[in-house]
């Protein structure tokens, strides 16, 4: 009896470890990896324990197809409550009238908007992927490029211009007036500058298009007041709920137009998805609640300050940043300015050996293919969550340069790895 009680107690405290030690071991190893490495991937962050608790809750057990008050299953009263709570918090956070929190991801949110507001074959305008756009903004093998017709507006490639490698709003206007798109997209995955939503709306109105803003990367900065809001300019706004917003992995769609909202709701369900992930929606509600607190504004401000400090440190070390710097959480590093032979693939591998996690990324007009690249994309959101400030970001920039300047030297990586672990211990993950 005593042994049975001990076993039951053990299973209660560590059900995963007792029930599936293989999975538990993998997750434990990943936890250690995150604890002892510097996360610089611009699309990643560290959620709070409260968000993770909600996502791991009993809400995962329930089907709740439909929307609050109009479900296709019984037993959804608490799921209605948590979805309404998430929607209401998101409305307050972003200052909009209608919200759909059911998209499973940002790409599915984008797909829902496309099929809600356009017909297959319709034309839309966006920034090409190689210039910092997203695969769901018109990549040929993605739904957006298969079922719709993308036309692309360019960055500014005038070396004499102050806006070099930034969005060329005059060229964007010209492209849109010529193509007469049904929809114009703005918001990007590797663009380090402020987006002028007002200018985009002016062009959209001029050519009779709808304006869609995909703020997946900058949503937390918008929520925290560190980047201008797409409202009231955009007709519809999509986002992920992770990245700078620091919530669970998922998507969301927002609008101030009631008719657009109705079309989007039908497009999400039953158009694109079946049952919503209610445990993730609960995590979204927690994340929005956290972002409504005053300290999140300071967080968003610090993210930008940290990114700019890291950018300055790298520039002073001889690296070139596309567009010359950053206004938000990310930067795109042109490695060729430091070393013509250095590739993004090599840099990513060498840095990870030193405990610095990044991702290779193409730069505008990159001569190398996407799996090799000439650039690195770096972001400051996750390190800011750990509590890093400007002093630590200078250290991070110096770590990066030590590793890359060594050309992958194993001993250098080992020494930097030790320094990284020491720094991580000073700034533990949220617990």
Residues annotated as catalytic are 63, 65, 214, 240, 243, 249
Residue 300 and residue 224 in contact, taking contact as beta carbons nearer than 8 Å: yes
- Buried residues in 340-366 as b, exposed as e (16+ CB within 10 A): eebbbbbbbebbbbbbbbbbbbbbbeb
Terminal Cα-to-Cα distance of the chain (whole angstroms): 35
Those residues whose C-beta lies under 8 Å from the C-beta of residue 316, and which sit 6 or more positions away, are: none
- The sign of the CA dihedral 122, 125, 130, 136 is negative
Cis peptide before 98 (omega within 30 of 0): no
What single DSSP character describes residue 274? S
How far, in Å, are 135, 259, 342 from residue 181 at the CA level?
19, 20, 40
Tokens of 346: 């090599």
Q: Find how far residue 58's CA is from the centre of its chain.
A: 27
C-alpha closest to that of 287 among 91, 42, 47: 47
The angle subtended at Cα 372 by Cα 325 and Cα 137, nearest 5°, is: 65
For 222-243, the DSSP string reads HHTTSS---TTT-SEEEEESSG
Helix 278-291 vs helix 77-94: crossing angle, to nearest 10 = 30
Q: CA 313 → CA 164, 316, 319, 333, 391, distances in Å?
A: 21, 5, 9, 12, 11
Q: Where are the alpha helices (DSSP H) in 59-181?
A: 77-94, 106-117, 143-146, 169-179
Q: Of the candidates 424, 80, 426, which has an alpha carbon nearest to the alpha carbon of residue 281?
A: 80
Neighbours of 12 (CB within 10 A): 9
Region for residue 254 given its phi and psi (left: phi exceeds 0; alpha: psi -120 to 50; beta: otherwise):
beta
Burial of 212 (0-12, 13-18, 19+ CB in 10 A): buried
């Amino acid at each position: 009896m005593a042994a049975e009680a001990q076993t039951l107690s053990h299973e209660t405290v560590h059900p995963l470890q007792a029930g599936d030690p293989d999975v538990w071991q993998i997750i434990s190893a990943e936890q250690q990896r995150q604890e002892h490495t510097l996360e610089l991937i611009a699309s990643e962050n560290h959620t709070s324990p409260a968000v993770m608790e909600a996502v791991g809750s009993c809400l995962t057990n329930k089907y709740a197809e439909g929307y609050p008050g109009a479900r296709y299953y019984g037993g959804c009263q608490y799921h209605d409550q948590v979805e309404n709570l998430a929607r209401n918090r998101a409305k307050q956070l972003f200052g909009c009238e209608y919200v759909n929190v059911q998209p499973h991801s940002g790409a599915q949110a984008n797909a829902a908007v496309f099929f809600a507001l356009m017909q297959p074959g319709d034309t839309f305008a966006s920034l090409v992927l190689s210039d910092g756009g997203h695969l769901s903004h018109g990549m040929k093998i993605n739904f957006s490029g298969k079922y719709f017709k993308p036309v692309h507006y360019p960055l500014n490639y005038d070396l004499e211009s102050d806006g070099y490698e930034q969005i060329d709003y005059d060229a964007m206007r010209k492209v849109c007036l010529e193509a007469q798109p049904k929809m114009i997209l703005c918001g990007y995955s590797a663009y380090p500058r402020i987006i002028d939503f007002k200018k985009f709306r002016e062009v959209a109105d001029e050519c009779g298009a709808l304006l869609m803003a995909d703020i997946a990367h900058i949503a937390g900065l918008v929520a925290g007041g560190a980047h201008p809001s797409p409202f009231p300019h955009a007709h519809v706004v999509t986002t992920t709920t992770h990245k700078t917003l620091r919530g669970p992995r998922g998507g969301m769609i927002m609008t101030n137009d009631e008719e657009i909202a109705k079309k989007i709701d039908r497009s999400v369900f039953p158009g694109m998805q079946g049952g919503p992930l209610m445990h993730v929606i609960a995590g979204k509600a927690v994340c929005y609640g956290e972002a409504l607190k005053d300290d999140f504004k300071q967080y968003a401000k610090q993210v930008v300050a940290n990114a700019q400090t890291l950018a300055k440190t790298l520039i002073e070390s001889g690296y070139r940043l596309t567009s010359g710097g950053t206004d938000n959480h990310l930067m795109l590093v042109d490695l060729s300015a430091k070393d013509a032979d250095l590739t993004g693939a090599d840099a990513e591998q060498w840095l990870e050996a030193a405990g610095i996690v990044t991702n290779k990324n193409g730069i505008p007009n990159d001569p190398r293919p996407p799996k090799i690249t000439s650039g690195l994309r770096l972001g400051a959101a996750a390190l800011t969550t750990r509590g890093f400030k400007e002093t630590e970001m200078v250290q991070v920039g110096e770590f990066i340069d030590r590793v890359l300047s060594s050309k992958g030297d194993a001993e250098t990586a080992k020494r930097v790895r030790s320094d990284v672990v020491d720094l991580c211990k000073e700034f533990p993950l949220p617990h």
